[in-house]
C-alpha cells in the first residue's frame, strides 16, 4: 500500500473518531537528537521533549482491568524513543514531528488510536527563547510555537517609559500547511522579529502585535501563503506591578497582514538611548497647518536668574509684539525647586496660551530668538540656570486638532510634560478639564492628579503673588498646597500648608463701624498704631499686612469724596514707607479702596496690594490701574449692588439656575446645599474673567468671598465652610465654550467684628467681638483660608498661630 493511501485512510479513520472522551497522555518524553543547527548554530545533539495526547476508548480496559484492551504508553514511549534515536539528523523540527505522527497512526500498529496530537519541543533551538515547538493534530497541518521570546523595546506613552527600553515577552504561533520550515527557517523568523522589535518603538502594545505579525508574514516563503494564520501575543512584564504582566494578542491570516501597513514597520529607525523617540507621524507639517489660520499653542516659561518676573514679562511682551502671535491667556506663577541639576536657584514657572499664525518650527525659532538674542540667555549646560526658558508644550490647529511632531529639534507634545507639576499645574489653569493628551488620549488634568496622589515634598509647588521690589529685595506672598489621598473616598484632598498671613486693619475714617475715629486725621497716632500692630505680629509671624482704609464700606454709610479719601491715606502710606523704625521688608501695605484714582496714587506711594471690596463693579477703571502694575496684588471681592443696596441683595436661595452654565462639581447640580456657593462662585468668576480681559494677571488676584457684603448670617457661615469649593471652582459657559478655572486661588476672609458674629454671640458692641473673631478665623483657616483680615492683631495673631499648628504642617 502506498504511503499516500495509508495517510488518507488514517486521516479518514481519525476524523471518524474525533473528540474522544478517553485520552492517554505522554508528557515531555525527554530525548536528545538533532533537528538542524542548535542555538550556537552547530550540529550538536539538542534537548527535545515529546508530548503525545491520544484519543482512545479504554472502557473495556477499565471494566476488565486488563491492559491488553488499552494503549500501553510504556511501549509507545519506548518505540518513539527508538524511532528518534534511529536517525542522526532530522534536519527540521517538522520532519521529526511528522515522523512521530505517521509512526503512531500507522494502521494496525497500535490498537485504538482514534485521534492524536504530537508536540515536539526543542529546548536548544535559539538563544532568545526557552523552546520552539512543532505541533501536529492532523496529517496536513502543522503548528509552530515560539514561546516566551524576550525582547527589549521602547513601548508606552509615558515619558518615563520612553526613556529606556522595557522587556516584553512574545508568544508566536504559526498555523500552516505541512512543510513550512522546509522553505522558511524558524530561525530567520525569530531573528527578523528580534531585529525589528528592538530597533523600533511603539505607543501601544496593539501596534506592536500587528507589526510583529507583518514581520512574520514577510518572513514566510511558501506556495500556500494564503493558508497560513499567525497569532501574536505580547506581554508587558512590568506594566502593572500587581500582575505578572499585561498584554494583548491577535490572530490574522497572512493575506490580511499583507494588506496592512503597520506602525513604523516600513520606516523603523534605531532608537538612540539618549533621545526621546515619540512615535508620531513623520511628515512636513508646515504646509499642513500653515494656512494663514490662527492656531493655538501652549508654552511653558521658566526663569531662575535675577529679576525672574521681569524676564518673564519681557519675554511675554516680545511674543505678543510679533505680528503673528497673540498672548491670550497667562497662568499663575509658581516656584519650584530645580530638577536634574540641583545646585541652583529656585525657578519661577508658568504657562501661556497663544494664538499664532506661525507653524511650530517658526514658533520655536521665535522663542529661541527671544531667549538668546533679545534677553541674552547664556546656556552653560543642559538644565542649568537661565534667565528665561520658553518651551512649546502643545500645538493645535485652527480646527482644534492636535499637531504632533518628532523632529531633531522639536517634539510636540513636550516629551516630559506629564511628569512635571510645574508645567501641568499652570497648564491646567488654561485648558478645559476635558482636554485630552494627544498621545495617551487621557485628560491632561488626570496626570496632575496622579502625580499628586504619590507626591513627596520635593515635588510640591509654591504659588507666588508678586509684590513690588523694595530696597532691591524681591518680595512675594507665597502659598504652598499639599495633596493627600483620602483612604475612605479615594479622592485627593487639597490643603494649604504654608503659614497664614495676618492682615491688620487700619481705618482712618471717623465712621468705621467698630473703630470709628480711633485713628482719624492724626498721622503720628496712626504711625504709632502701625508700630504696635507690627511689634505684636512679629512675635509670632514673619510678616504683617496692614490694610489702610480712608472710606467706610459699612452698608448705607456716607461715602467720603475722593479728595478726602486721598488725604486720609496717601500721606500715611508714605509715612509708613519712610519710617526707619519699621522693618520694611516685613511690612506689606494694602489700600482698602474701590476707586481707581486712589489705587493709582497709593501704588506710587508704596502699597503692595489693592483691596477692592467691589470686585471692580463700582469703578471698573481700577482694573486698568492694576494691569499697569503686574507686581501689585489685587483682592477681588464678591459683592452685589452698592453701598446702599447690598443689604437687600441676599436672596441667593431663590435664584434660578444660571442658564447655559454647567458647573463642574462632584455634587449634583440640583443639590440645594451647594446652590448658594455655586451662585457666588459664578458671580465671582464673571468678575474674575473681566479682570483677565483687562489684562490683570492671574498671579495678581486674591479672592475675597465678601463676608457680610450682600449676605446674611447663615450665608456667611456657609461661605466659610465652602471656601475649598471657591478656591477650586470651574464652570463652562456653553454659549461660547469658554472655561473658567480656579486652582488653589489664594483666599482672604474678613469676618472681624462683623454683625453676624454679634448676632450669634448676642454681643451688640462690635469692639467686644474680638474673642469670637479669633474663633471664627481659626475655623476659616481650618477651611483653607490663606489670609485673615482682623482688627485686633495682638490677640488674633495668637489664634492664627494656633490654627496653623493645628491645620497646617509647615
**What's the DSSP call for residue 372?**
I
Regarding the domain delimited by 501-807, which CATH topology (the fold level of the hierarchy) does it fall under? TIM Barrel (3.20.20)
Task: Output the pLDDT for position 244.
Answer: 63
pLDDT at 532 over 50: yes
Confidence of residue 370 (pLDDT cuts 50, 70, 90): very high
The CB density around residue 223, as the number of other CB atoms within 10 Å, is: 9
Q: How many CA atoms lie within 13 A of 786 on its CB side?
A: 27
Q: What is the CATH number of domain 147-173+181-279?
A: 3.30.1130.10
User: What is the dihedral angle through the alpha carbons of 434, 435, 439, 442, rounded to the nearest 10 degrees?
Assistant: -20
Determine the distance from the C-alpha atom of residue 408 to the mean position of all C-alpha atoms in its chain, rounded to a whole number.
25
Task: Output the pLDDT for position 346.
Answer: 87
Burial per residue of 140-165, b for 16 or more beta-carbon CB atoms within 10 angstroms, e otherwise: eebbbbbbebebebbbbbebebbbeb
Task: Look up residue 506 and give its three cell numbers.
Answer: 487700619
Tell me the per-residue pLDDT of 261-307, one tens digit each, with 9 for 90 and over: 544 444 334 333 334 444 454 444 444 455 568 999 999 999 988 89
Task: Output the pLDDT for position 485.
Answer: 65
Q: What is the mean pLDDT of residues 764-788?
A: 93
Q: How many CA atoms lie within 13 A of 566 on its CB side?
A: 13
**Residues in CB range of 534: below 8 A, 6 or more apart:** 544, 546, 582, 583, 586, 587
Task: Output the pLDDT for position 741.
Answer: 84
- Window from 51-65, 309-323, 595-609, 688-702 with minimum mean pLDDT: 51-65
Q: Rounded distance, CA 169 to CA 184, Å? A: 23
* HEC assignment per residue over 669-735: CCCHHHHHHHHHHHHHHHHHHHHHHCCCCHHHEEEECCCCCCCCHHHHHHHHHCHHHHHCCEEEECC
Nearest residue to 103 (alpha-carbon basis) of 85, 84, 121, 122: 84
Average pLDDT, the chain: 84
Pick the CATH number of 1-139 from 3.40.50.11860, 3.30.1130.10, 1.10.287.130, 3.40.120.10: 3.30.1130.10
Nearest residue to 43 (alpha-carbon basis) of 35, 54, 51: 35
Report the DSSP beta bridge partners of residue 55. 23, 115
Q: What is the mean pLDDT of residues 568-581?
A: 95
pLDDT at 514 over 90: no
**Spatial strand order in the sheet of 587-592:** 701-704, 633-637, 609-612, 587-592, 544-549, 501-507, 787-790, 748-749
- Window from 559-563, 638-642, 720-724, 731-735 with minimum mean pLDDT: 731-735
Q: Is 429 exposed, middle or buried (0-12, 13-18, 19+ CB in 10 A)?
A: buried
Task: Output the pLDDT for position 736.
Answer: 63
Domains of the chain, by residue range, sit at 1-139, 147-173+181-279, 291-459, 464-496, 501-807
> What Å distances lie between residue 82 and 37, 87, 285, CA to CA?
22, 9, 67
Q: Rounded distance, CA 790 to CA 792, Å? A: 6
Task: Look up residue 177 and give its three cell numbers.
Answer: 500547511
Task: Output the pLDDT for position 338.
Answer: 72
Report the DSSP beta bridge partners of residue 349. 302, 334
Task: Output the pLDDT for position 312.
Answer: 95
Q: Name the maximum alpha-carbon separation found in the chain.
A: 129
Instruction: Record the pTM.
Output: 0.73
Task: Output the pLDDT for position 457.
Answer: 47
Nearest residue to 122 (alpha-carbon basis) of 111, 107, 132: 132
Q: Rounded distance, CA 353 to CA 358, Å? A: 14
Nearest residue to 455 (alpha-carbon basis) of 475, 481, 490, 487: 481
- Percent of the chain whose predicted confidence (pLDDT) is above 70: 81
Confirm whether 1-139 and 147-173+181-279 share one CATH topology.
yes
- Percent of the chain whose predicted confidence (pLDDT) is above 90: 51
Higher pLDDT, 62 or 86: 86
Phi first, then psi: what are they for 495, rounded to 5°? -150, 130
* Contact between residue 644 and residue 554 where contact means Cβ atoms under 8 Å apart: no
Tell me the per-residue pLDDT of 223-252, one tens digit each, with 9 for 90 and over: 677 788 999 999 887 655 555 667 677 777
Helix, strand, coil fractions of the chain, as percent rounded to 5: 35, 25, 40
Instruction: Find the radius of gyration of the CA atoms of the chain.
Output: 38
Q: Rounded distance, CA 680 to CA 674, Å? A: 10
Task: Output the pLDDT for position 266.
Answer: 41
**Residues in CB range of 549: below 8 A, 6 or more apart:** 505, 506, 507, 508, 509, 512, 569, 591, 592, 593
Q: What is the mean pLDDT of residues 543-555?
A: 91
Q: Rounded distance, CA 105 to CA 115, Å? A: 9
Higher pLDDT, 253 or 497: 497
Which range in 67-81, 91-105, 185-199 is most confidently predicted, on average pLDDT? 91-105
* Contact between residue 611 and residue 591 where contact means Cβ atoms under 8 Å apart: yes
Tell me the per-residue pLDDT of 4-45, one tens digit each, with 9 for 90 and over: 333 333 444 444 444 567 889 999 999 999 999 988 889 999
Higher pLDDT, 740 or 170: 170
Q: Rounded distance, CA 360 to CA 356, Å? A: 9
Q: What is the mean pLDDT of residues 305-311?
A: 91
**What's the DSSP call for residue 658?**
P
Pick the CATH number of 291-459 from 3.40.630.30, 3.40.50.720, 3.40.50.80, 3.30.70.560: 3.30.70.560
Which range in 128-132, 237-241, 741-745 is most confidently predicted, on average pLDDT? 128-132
Q: List the end-to-end C-alpha distance of the chain, in Å, as a whole number.
A: 94
Q: What is the mean pLDDT of residues 318-334?
A: 96
**What's the DSSP call for residue 524?**
H
Match 518628532 to its residue by C-alpha cell. 406
Which range in 199-208, 339-348, 507-516, 732-741 is most confidently predicted, on average pLDDT? 199-208
Higher pLDDT, 532 or 434: 532
Confidence of residue 742 (pLDDT cuts 50, 70, 90): confident
Q: Return the ∠ at Cα 555 (arms to 553 and 561), rounded to 5°.
A: 45
Amino acid at each position: 500500500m502506498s504511503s499516500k493511501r495509508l495517510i488518507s485512510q488514517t486521516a479518514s479513520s481519525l476524523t471518524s473518531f474525533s473528540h474522544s472522551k478517553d485520552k492517554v497522555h505522554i508528557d515531555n518524553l525527554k530525548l536528545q537528537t538533532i533537528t538542524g543547527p542548535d542555538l550556537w548554530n552547530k550540529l550538536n545533539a539538542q534537548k527535545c521533549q515529546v508530548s503525545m495526547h491520544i484519543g482512545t476508548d479504554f472502557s473495556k480496559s477499565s471494566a476488565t482491568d486488563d491492559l491488553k484492551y488499552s494503549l500501553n504508553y510504556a511501549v509507545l514511549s519506548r518505540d518513539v524513543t527508538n524511532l528518534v534515536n534511529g536517525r542522526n539528523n532530522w534536519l527540521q523540527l517538522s520532519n521529526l514531528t511528522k515522523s512521530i505522527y505517521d509512526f503512531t497512526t500507522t494502521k494496525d500498529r497500535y490498537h485504538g488510536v482514534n485521534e492524536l496530537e504530537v508536540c515536539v519541543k526543542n529546548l536548544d533551538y535559539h538563544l532568545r527563547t526557552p523552546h520552539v515547538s512543532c505541533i501536529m493534530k492532523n496529517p496536513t497541518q502543522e503548528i509552530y510555537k515560539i514561546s516566551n521570546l524576550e525582547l527589549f523595546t521602547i513601548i508606552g506613552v509615558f515619558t518615563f517609559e520612553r526613556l529606556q527600553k522595557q522587556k516584553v515577552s512574545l508568544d508566536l504561533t504559526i498555523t500552516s500547511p505541512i512543510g513550512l520550515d522546509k522553505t522558511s527557517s524558524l530561525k530567520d523568523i525569530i531573528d527578523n522579529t528580534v531585529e525589528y522589535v528592538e530597533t523600533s518603538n511603539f505607543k501601544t502594545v496593539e501596534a506592536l502585535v500587528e507589526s510583529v505579525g507583518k514581520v512574520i508574514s514577510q518572513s514566510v516563503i511558501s506556495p500556500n501563503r494564503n493558508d497560513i494564520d499567525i497569532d501574536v501575543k505580547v506581554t508587558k512584564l512590568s506594566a502593572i506591578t500587581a500582575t505578572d504582566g499585561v498584554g494583548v494578542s491577535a490572530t490574522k491570516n497572512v493575506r490580511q497582514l499583507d494588506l496592512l501597513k503597520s506602525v513604523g514597520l516600513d520606516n523603523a529607525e534605531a532608537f538612540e538611548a539618549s533621545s526621546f523617540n515619540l512615535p508620531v507621524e513623520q511628515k512636513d507639517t508646515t504646509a499642513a497647518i500653515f494656512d494663514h489660520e490662527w492656531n493655538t499653542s501652549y508654552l511653558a516659561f521658566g526663569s531662575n536668574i535675577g529679576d525672574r518676573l521681569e524676564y518673564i514679562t519681557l519675554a511675554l511682551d516680545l511674543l505678543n509684539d510679533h505680528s503673528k502671535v497673540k498672548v491670550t491667556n497667562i497662568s499663575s506663577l509658581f516656584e519650584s525647586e530645580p530638577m536634574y541639576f540641583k545646585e541652583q536657584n529656585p525657578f519661577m514657572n508658568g504657562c501661556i496660551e497663544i494664538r499664532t499664525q506661525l507653524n511650530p518650527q517658526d514658533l520655536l525659532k521665535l522663542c529661541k530668538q527671544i531667549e538668546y538674542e533679545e534677553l541674552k540667555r547664556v546656556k552653560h549646560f543642559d538644565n542649568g540656570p537661565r534667565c528665561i526658558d520658553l518651551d512649546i508644550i502643545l500645538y493645535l490647529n485652527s480646527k482644534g486638532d492636535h499637531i504632533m511632531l518628532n523632529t531633531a529639534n522639536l517634539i510636540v507634545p513636550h516629551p516630559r510634560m506629564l511628569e512635571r507639576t510645574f508645567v501641568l499645574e499652570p497648564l491646567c489653569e488654561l485648558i478645559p478639564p476635558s482636554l485630552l493628551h494627544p498621545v495617551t488620549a487621557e485628560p491632561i488634568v488626570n496626570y496632575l492628579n496622579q502625580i499628586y496622589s504619590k507626591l513627596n515634598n520635593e515635588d510640591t509647588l509654591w504659588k507666588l503673588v508678586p509684590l513690588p521690589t523694595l530696597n532691591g529685595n524681591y518680595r512675594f506672598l507665597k502659598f504652598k498646597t499639599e495633596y493627600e489621598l483620602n483612604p475612605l473616598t479615594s479622592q485627593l484632598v487639597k490643603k494649604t500648608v504654608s503659614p497664614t498671613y495676618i492682615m491688620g486693619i487700619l481705618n482712618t475714617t471717623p465712621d468705621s463701624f467698630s473703630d470709628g475715629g480711633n485713628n482719624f486725621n492724626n498721622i503720628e497716632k496712626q504711625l504709632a498704631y502701625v508700630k504696635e500692630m507690627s511689634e505684636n505680629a512679629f512675635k509670632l509671624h514673619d510678616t504683617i499686612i496692614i490694610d489702610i482704609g480712608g472710606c467706610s464700606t459699612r452698608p448705607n454709610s456716607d461715602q467720603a469724596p475722593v479728595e478726602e479719601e486721598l488725604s486720609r491715606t496717601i500721606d500715611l502710606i508714605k509715612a509708613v514707607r519712610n519710617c526707619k523704625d519699621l522693618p520694611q521688608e516685613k511690612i506689606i501695605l494694602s489700600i482698602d479702596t474701590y476707586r481707581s484714582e486712589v489705587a493709582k496714587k497709593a501704588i506710587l506711594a508704596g502699597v503692595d496690594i489693592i483691596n477692592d471690596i467691589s470686585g471692580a463693579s463700582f469703578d471698573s477703571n481700577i482694573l486698568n490701574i492694576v494691569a499697569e502694575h503686574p507686581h501689585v496684588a489685587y483682592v477681588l471681592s464678591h459683592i452685589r449692588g452698592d453701598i446702599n443696596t447690598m443689604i437687600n441683595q441676599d436672596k441667593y436661595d431663590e435664584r434660578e439656575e444660571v442658564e447655559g452654565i454647567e458647573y463642574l462639581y462632584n455634587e449634583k447640580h440640583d443639590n440645594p446645599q451647594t446652590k448658594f456657593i455655586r451662585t457666588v462662585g459664578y458671580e465671582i468668576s464673571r468678575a474674575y474673567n473681566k479682570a483677565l480681559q483687562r489684562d490683570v494677571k492671574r498671579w495678581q488676584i486674591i479672592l475675597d468671598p465678601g463676608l457680610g457684603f450682600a449676605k446674611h448670617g447663615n450665608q456667611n457661615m456657609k461661605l466659610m465652610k465652602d471656601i475649598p469649593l471657591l478656591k477650586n471652582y470651574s464652570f463652562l459657559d456653553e454659549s461660547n465654550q469658554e472655561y473658567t478655572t480656579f486652582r488653589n486661588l489664594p483666599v482672604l476672609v474678613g469676618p472681624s467684628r462683623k454683625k453676624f458674629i454679634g448676632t450669634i454671640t448676642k454681643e451688640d458692641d462690635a469692639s467686644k467681638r474680638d474673642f469670637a473673631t479669633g474663633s471664627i478665623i481659626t475655623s476659616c483657616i481650618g477651611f483653607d483660608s490663606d489670609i485673615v483680615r482682623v482688627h485686633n492683631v495682638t490677640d488674633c495673631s495668637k489664634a492664627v498661630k494656633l490654627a496653623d499648628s493645628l491645620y497646617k504642617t509647615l
